[in-house]
């Protein structure tokens, strides 16, 4: 069983590396960029270092293997007002299938308020409005292959629309988490947003064309403008986390305090290699403080993050309330809130 688990991890890692290899930079060459927005305040507060630490409904957006660590039925949602008047939300639910596997469903939504169309002739507005929308609906499944290795997969429908034009496709996520049993170390790998390409289509690209302007008379025929295919922002993540005090660390045990360090390397298809680091302190499994940092991201944008969490119970139901502050430098700071239920 151990050899089988090691072989599966090696195959998944090799697949991920081959999928993300590119001979040239593809910065800014993908659609559905909202897929990069962090789901859940805990992962956001930890600076995006969440591939190994994800163990809630929001794991479906980071590493689907993480929902295998959710015990019992859970339900969670997050909301934040992003910059540029974008409104982002994520909801998810998980339910155990048996003692070794978990099923999850999720939805991700991004919207804007109506935006007035302007032209060169009417720079103050034409009186016509449009909006932008993004939607992801997914189903996830995670299973324990051994007592230390869990793997997960998601299939999701991704849709993006602006004004009357729309594009959609199917995508897949795959990931794993492995408890080494050494000093509280956990390793993780995930490939997200691997799927088909998207092409905008709609009534506003319909036009007409004179197929033979050399002939006398009006020979206008119906035509359509050509739009291009664009890939999804596929991301390969590798992560590690370690309990340096309490938690699963047998050398520095504590029943009340836990101090955990997380680190990720994420390699997007449409950007350069990036890094994420996070630090989390939890007291008595009730109150948590978190700090994170983004490495090699765009200058004067996403950098320092911090936040906290509170857990409490009532009537047999456990609740988790989390908050994250994200500093985007020249852009506005973002406040993210998350509420989760465990039954």
Q: What is the pLDDT of residue 28?
A: 65
**How does pLDDT run across 150-175, given as a tens digit for each residue?**
999 999 999 999 988 999 999 999 99
| Number of Cβ atoms within 10 Å of the Cβ of 105 | 16
Considering only CA atoms, which of 180, 176, 171 is closest in space to residue 189? 176
Q: What is the pLDDT of residue 217?
A: 64
Helices (H) then strands (E): counts for the chain: 3, 18
Q: What is the pLDDT of residue 218?
A: 66
Q: What is the pLDDT of residue 15?
A: 43
> What are the pLDDT tens digits along the chain (343 aa)?
444 444 444 444 444 444 444 445 566 678 888 999 999 999 999 999 999 999 999 999 999 999 999 988 999 999 988 877 889 999 999 999 999 999 999 999 999 988 888 989 998 888 889 889 999 999 999 999 999 999 999 999 999 999 889 999 999 999 999 999 887 899 999 999 999 899 998 888 888 777 776 766 666 778 888 888 899 999 999 999 999 998 888 888 888 999 999 999 998 888 888 999 999 999 999 999 999 999 988 765 777 899 999 999 988 899 999 999 998 877 778 999 999 999 9
| Number of Cβ atoms within 10 Å of the Cβ of 333 | 11
Q: How far is CA 319 from the centre of its chain?
A: 22
The share of the chain scoring above pLDDT 70, in percent, equals 89
CA distances from 178 to 189, 190, 245, 250, 313 (A): 9, 12, 19, 17, 29
Q: Which residues of 139-155 are buried (b: 16+ CB within 10 A; e: fewer)?
A: ebbbbbbeeebbbbebe
Q: What is the pLDDT of residue 303?
A: 78
- Residue found by looking up tokens 């985007």 in the block: 328
Decide: 141 and 106 in contact? Cβ < 8 Å: no
Cβ-based neighbours of 42, under 8 Å, separated by 6 or more: 50, 53, 56, 58, 290, 307, 309, 322, 324, 338
Considering only CA atoms, which of 190, 196, 158 is closest in space to residue 32? 158
Q: What is the pLDDT of residue 125?
A: 87
What single-letter DSSP state applies at residue 22?
Answer: -
Tokens of 151: 């793997």
What is the CATH code for 2-13+36-202+232-342? 2.40.160.60
The 3 state secondary structure assigned to 96-128 is EEECCEEEEEEEEEEEECCEECCCCCCCCCCCC
Please work out, in degrees rounded to the nearest 5, the angle formed at the alpha carbon of residue 159 by the alpha carbons of 156 and 164: 165
Concatenated DSSP letters of 59-99: HHHH-GGGGGG--S-EEEEEEEE-GGGEEEEEEEEEEEEET
**How does pLDDT run across 58-115, given as a tens digit for each residue?**
999 999 999 999 988 999 999 988 877 889 999 999 999 999 999 999 999 999 988 8
């Amino acid at each position: 069983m151990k050899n089988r688990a090691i072989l599966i991890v090696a195959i998944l890692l090799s697949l991920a590396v081959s999928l993300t290899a590119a001979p040239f930079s593809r910065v800014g060459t993908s659609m559905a960029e909202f897929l990069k927005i962090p789901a859940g305040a805990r992962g956001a507060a930890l600076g995006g270092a969440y591939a190994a630490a994800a163990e809630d409904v929001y794991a479906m957006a980071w590493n689907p293997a993480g929902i295998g660590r959710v015990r019992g039925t859970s339900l969670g949602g997050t909301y934040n007002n992003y910059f540029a008047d974008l409104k982002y939300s994520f909801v998810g639910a998980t339910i155990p299938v048996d003692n070794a596997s978990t099923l999850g469903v999720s939805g991700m939504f991004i919207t804007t308020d109506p935006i007035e169309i302007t032209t060169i002739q009417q720079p103050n507005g034409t009186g016509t409005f449009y909006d932008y929308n993004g939607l992801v609906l997914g189903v996830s499944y995670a299973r324990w292959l051994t007592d230390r290795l869990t793997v997960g997969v998601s299939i999701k429908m991704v849709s993006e629309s602006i004004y009357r034009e729309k594009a959609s496709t199917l995508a897949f996520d795959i990931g794993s988490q492995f408890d080494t049993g050494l000093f509280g170390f956990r390793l993780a790998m995930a490939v997200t947003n691997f799927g088909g390409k998207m092409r905008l289509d709609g009534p506003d690209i319909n036009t007409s064309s004179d197929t033979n302007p050399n002939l006398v008379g009006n020979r206008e025929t119906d035509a359509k403008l050509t739009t291009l295919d664009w890939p999804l922002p596929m991301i390969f993540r590798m992560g590690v986390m370690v309990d340096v005090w309490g938690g699963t660390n047998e050398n520095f045990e504590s029943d009340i305090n836990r101090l955990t360090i997380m680190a990720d390397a994420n390699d997007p298809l449409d950007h350069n290699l990036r890094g994420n680091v996070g630090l989390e302190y939890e007291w008595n499994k009730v109150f948590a403080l978190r700090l994170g940092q983004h490495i090699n991201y765009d200058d004067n944008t996403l950098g320092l993050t911090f936040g906290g969490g509170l857990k409490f119970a009532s009537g047999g139901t456990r609740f988790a309330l989390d908050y994250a502050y994200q500093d985007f430098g020249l852009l506005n700071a973002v406040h993210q809130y998350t509420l989760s239920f465990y039954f």
